[in-house]
Chain A
Amino acid sequence: MTLTSPAGGGPARTSARRRAAVVPALPPARVVRGPSRPRLQRALVPWLFLVPGLAFAAVFKLWPMLQGFRLSVLEVQPFLGDLFVGLDNYRAVLSDPRFVDALGHTVLLGVGTALGGLVVGTALALLLEGSSPVLAVTRTAVFLPVVTAVAVVGEIWRIIYFPTSTGLLNSVLGWVGIPAQQFLGDPQTALWWVVVVGVWTAAPYDMVIILAGLAGIDRSLYEAASVDGASVWQRLRHIVIPGLRASISVVLTLAAIRSLRTFTEVYVLTGGGPAGATEVWMTRVYSLGFRSNDLGLASAASVLLLVVTLVLTLAVRWATARRSAA
């Protein structure tokens, strides 16, 4: 099965750009009378350099992706021979209430994580902006969740969320008199506790992008504002947030794409439970593909995810382009 990802187009785009850069460097066409040997060689050289990258992309991205499209219209029976079933798999996915629920959870998780990450990331960026060495060390420490394997993050949070009174977070809550919480065990709240983990992981990444955005804001604006007697809130409202518009757009686009592919956090934290309350699109795909061995259905669901991701990405790009044109 192909777990198609929007990153699939990356290497192809890069190679096209490289080719564009290479072609003008060739000798002027008027000298050429038929492709002489050295010239053909020279034309081949850039392609030869590209072969490892192209081969890699073709074998590990393009080929599995095409296979994913192929499998999505088959009932996959590797030993007896696959059966062509047309769009049945797509119909089955779209009419499966669990996929619909999973889509809802995925969107909630995505929106919650994106907005939470943005708010916390911006707060962190505002707190940690500056050039003092102490801040640099703190920024590095804060960034650690981003470079930690998601599976490890999940396991650690499972320990933190352990739902007895001796669990880590419950002990802390106990100090202020809050009774032991079920956290991931309660179907009503489990998804929100997964969102918290998502925010914890995403916020530092967002922070870095926001920090870059903050560095781009003209300092003289702050000085002018303080001369005019603007309050901190007014400076935030009228200088910082407008100045960060581009960064926020990047953060939200990345978050939207990332959130649709959410898998590891949920798989490690809850496995999609309890009562399917945290099941997201990719955990459903996984359990269909690798637990029920229904690779056709899982591929169809993956292709749909690719389409949604593509549409979403194009929509965001279109909206951004329109705004910058205006």
Chain B
Amino acid sequence: MTSSRRSRAAALVSAAALAAALGACSSSGDGGSQAATDDGAPLEVWSRGGDPVAAETYQRVFDAFTEQTGIEVDYSLVAELDTQLQARAGQRDLPDVLINDAGSLGDYVDQGFLLPVDRDSLEGADQVSDETWDQTLGLDGQYYGVPWSRQANVVVVRKDWREALGLEVPQTWEELEAMAVAFAEQDPDGDGQADTYGMVVPGTATNGYIARWGAPFLWQAGGEVLVDDGEGHYTSEVDSPEVEEGMTYIRDLFCTPGAVVPGSINFATSDTPFFQEGTAGIYLTGPYNFNVFDEGVGRENVEVIPMPQGPASATTFAEGENIYFGASSTKTDQQQQLAEFLLTPEAQEIAMDSPAAGGDGPFSSVVRLPVNTSVDAGEVYDDPRWDVVADAYAESSKTFPWNIDFIPFRQVLADGMNAMAADCSSDIPTTLAQIDQGFEAEIAAQGLGQ
């Protein structure tokens, strides 16, 4: 009896010690949120990524900002940014400024992470086109991001292979597919071995890769995925004959031996080094890897062409990064000054980190296409291939909707596209109807219906 009372007392003491330890943990969390008040601490800026060279480029931009304004910046390159952001949100202490995918805008607004941006009071805002600004509008009609970098996907081709086989630059879907097959079958590298393939494709559904890669073909067939009525209402249009035609073309590519690197159905972008390794000759991708391709197979062999024409258009896929203002920050003035600086030609050019500007490298462009209309990408990079990218972006590009949380839609689309491409006898209309149902459910869940 006594001993059990004693052990109970001891247990209580231990429990108290534990509670104290846990209390200590949580109180340090609370301390974090107090740091959000303007205490003269440097402006905290996060950008997404894991490339240390990109971090150096960003650091140069912020050093120039500090030199000009005297405002200190505490910059971090954050891998798994969204997970880290959730943790910081739990402490109600978001970074003052975030530089991340433009596509995150709707999700961040939903989660209350962002402060609205006053476009009119932002010096230099008029140097960004209205179209680019409109991409940062939230569903409530307010701007929630400042444009920072844009890009459009283009087709990268092994020029030496194409010329060795006597092929013209492909202008149509059929010519693109024919070139892919020729690269696989006609030994374009002339080594006497069947060791080359047509297209590099990140075809996994993980992170929506296949949707990002394949969306242009759906659009080029005249299809739409999710349509906005301009007033914040969305309708699914994925179950259409046009999307079916685009999807059939994609499946044909997957089902034609050699047209696509075998196994692509499971590849993420990190699993697809085939272009720079010289085993595949066509890659529909963004312009961020030109340096890697040039190093791998020689700059003279890396040709950049616009998307070949589909039945309806040559629309390609555009993405970008925005500058976001963290909602818990009280450094409004400093956020604004940083955004103004980042829009200047000076900051945009530092961030483009062009090898043409001199230096030993390695180089990493954190602004791909400048959003400032007075900066010419082809000139800064001294590389006419960037003009192709700039033209594609300006003339025939489309983005996924950015003012809603598109990630669940993208996942539904990617899962369906992956399933249709994985099986050469797949029932495309039925799968599109399933994607449509998934979209309708998500439209209802996000309250985006009419």
Interface membership of chain B positions 90-127, coded 1 if the CB is closer than 8 angstroms to chain A and 0 otherwise: 10101000000000000100011100000000000000
Q: Roughly how many angstroms separate A291 CA and B423 CA in the complex, as a whole number?
A: 26
Chain A residue nearest to B21 in the complex (CB): A55
Q: Which of A19, A79, A80, A271 sits near B268, CB closer than 8 Å? A: A271
Answer whether residue A180 sits at the interface, using C-beta atoms and an 8 A cutoff. Answer: yes
Answer whether residue A212 sits at the interface, using C-beta atoms and an 8 A cutoff. Answer: no
Contact in complex: B18, A58 (CB < 8 Å): yes
Contact in complex: A29, B1 (CB < 8 Å): yes
Answer whether residue B11 sits at the interface, using C-beta atoms and an 8 A cutoff. Answer: yes
Answer whether residue A50 sits at the interface, using C-beta atoms and an 8 A cutoff. Answer: yes
Interface membership of chain A positions 269-302, coded 1 if the CB is closer than 8 angstroms to chain B and 0 otherwise: 0111111110000000001001111010000000
Contacting residues, chain A, for B2 (C-beta < 8 A)? 29, 32, 35
Known: A43-B10, A55-B18, A79-B113. A273 touches B265 (CB 8 A): yes
Chain B: minimal CB distance from A213 (Å): 39
Contact in complex: B265, A291 (CB < 8 Å): no
Answer whether residue B330 sits at the interface, using C-beta atoms and an 8 A cutoff. Answer: no
Q: Which of B25, B90, B264 sits near A78, CB closer than 8 Å? A: B90
Q: Roughly how many angstroms separate A272 CA and B206 CA in the complex, as a whole number?
A: 8
Q: Roughly how many angstroms separate A245 CA and B418 CA in the complex, as a whole number?
A: 45
Q: Which of B63-115 contact A (CB under 8 A)?
A: 80, 82-83, 86-87, 89-90, 92, 94, 107, 111-113
Answer whether residue A140 sits at the interface, using C-beta atoms and an 8 A cutoff. Answer: no
Q: Which of A155-193 contact B (CB under 8 A)?
A: 162-166, 180, 182-187
Contact in complex: B86, A293 (CB < 8 Å): yes
Q: Which of B192-213 contact A (CB under 8 A)?
A: 194-195, 197, 203-207
Chain B: minimal CB distance from A12 (Å): 12
Chain A residue nearest to B195 in the complex (CB): A166
Contacting residues, chain A, for B86 (C-beta < 8 A)? 78, 293, 295
* Tally of chain A residues near chain B (CB < 8 A): 49
Contact in complex: B266, A276 (CB < 8 Å): no
Q: Roughly how many angstroms separate A53 CA and B13 CA in the complex, as a whole number?
A: 15
Q: Roughly how many angstroms separate A55 CA and B20 CA in the complex, as a whole number?
A: 11
Contact in complex: B266, A273 (CB < 8 Å): yes
Chain B residue nearest to A164 in the complex (CB): B262
Contact in complex: B423, A275 (CB < 8 Å): yes
Answer whether residue B155 sits at the interface, using C-beta atoms and an 8 A cutoff. Answer: no
Centre residue among A50, A63, A291 by max chain B CB count within 10 A? A291
Q: Roughly how many angstroms separate A19 CA and B91 CA in the complex, as a whole number?
A: 38
Answer whether residue A54 sits at the interface, using C-beta atoms and an 8 A cutoff. Answer: yes
Contact in complex: A35, B6 (CB < 8 Å): yes
Contact in complex: A276, B415 (CB < 8 Å): yes
Chain B residue nearest to A295 in the complex (CB): B86
Contact in complex: B14, A271 (CB < 8 Å): no
Q: Which of A26, A43, A59, A287 sits near B9, CB closer than 8 Å? A: A43
Q: Roughly how many angstroms separate A162 CA and B277 CA in the complex, as a whole number?
A: 16
Chain B: minimal CB distance from A191 (Å): 13
Known: A187-B422, A293-B82. A23 touches B7 (CB 8 A): yes
Contacting residues, chain B, for A293 (C-beta < 8 A)? 82, 86, 107
Chain B: minimal CB distance from A3 (Å): 14
Q: Roughly how many angstroms separate A173 CA and B407 CA in the complex, as a whole number?
A: 41
Q: Roughly how many angstroms separate A84 CA and B272 CA in the complex, as a whole number?
A: 43
Contact in complex: B265, A274 (CB < 8 Å): yes
Q: Which of A98-115 contact B (CB under 8 A)?
A: none
Contact in complex: B415, A77 (CB < 8 Å): no
Q: Roughly how many angstroms separate A182 CA and B207 CA in the complex, as a whole number?
A: 23
Q: Which of B107, B263, B415 sits near A184, CB closer than 8 Å? A: B263
Contact in complex: B6, A43 (CB < 8 Å): yes
Contact in complex: B25, A59 (CB < 8 Å): yes
Answer whether residue A44 sits at the interface, using C-beta atoms and an 8 A cutoff. Answer: yes
Contacting residues, chain B, for A40 (C-beta < 8 A)? 6, 9
Contact in complex: A182, B327 (CB < 8 Å): no
Chain B residue nearest to A289 in the complex (CB): B83
Contact in complex: B22, A58 (CB < 8 Å): yes
Answer whether residue A47 sits at the interface, using C-beta atoms and an 8 A cutoff. Answer: yes
Contacting residues, chain B, for A308 (C-beta < 8 A)? none
Contacting residues, chain B, for A58 (C-beta < 8 A)? 18, 22
Answer whether residue B3 sits at the interface, using C-beta atoms and an 8 A cutoff. Answer: yes
Contact in complex: A162, B263 (CB < 8 Å): yes
Answer whether residue A51 sits at the interface, using C-beta atoms and an 8 A cutoff. Answer: yes
Contacting residues, chain A, for B22 (C-beta < 8 A)? 58-59, 63
Contact in complex: B415, A271 (CB < 8 Å): no
Known: A163-B263, A271-B206. A43 touches B411 (CB 8 A): no
Chain B: minimal CB distance from A34 (Å): 9
Interface membership of chain A positions 253-268, coded 1 if the CB is closer than 8 angstroms to chain B and 0 otherwise: 0000000000000000
Answer whether residue B17 sits at the interface, using C-beta atoms and an 8 A cutoff. Answer: yes
Q: Roughly how many angstroms separate A59 CA and B14 CA in the complex, as a whole number?
A: 14
Contacting residues, chain B, for A275 (C-beta < 8 A)? 415, 418-419, 422-423
Contact in complex: A291, B418 (CB < 8 Å): no
Contacting residues, chain A, for B195 (C-beta < 8 A)? 166
Answer whether residue B273 sits at the interface, using C-beta atoms and an 8 A cutoff. Answer: no
Q: Which of A225-267 contact B (CB under 8 A)?
A: none
Contacting residues, chain B, for A39 (C-beta < 8 A)? 6
Interface membership of chain B positions 256-269, coded 1 if the CB is closer than 8 angstroms to chain A and 0 otherwise: 00000111111010
Given contacts A77-B112, A164-B263, A165-B194, 18 further A-B contacts (CB under 8 A): A23-B3, A35-B2, A35-B9, A40-B9, A77-B111, A78-B86, A79-B111, A79-B328, A185-B266, A185-B422, A187-B422, A271-B268, A273-B206, A275-B419, A276-B205, A276-B415, A290-B83, A292-B408
Q: List the 7 closest A-B pairs by CB distance, nearest first.
A: A275-B419, A78-B89, A274-B422, A79-B89, A163-B263, A78-B90, A271-B206
Q: What are 12 A-B pairs with beta-carbon distances under 8 A?
A: A19-B7, A43-B7, A47-B10, A47-B13, A59-B21, A78-B90, A79-B113, A183-B263, A184-B263, A185-B422, A186-B422, A274-B203
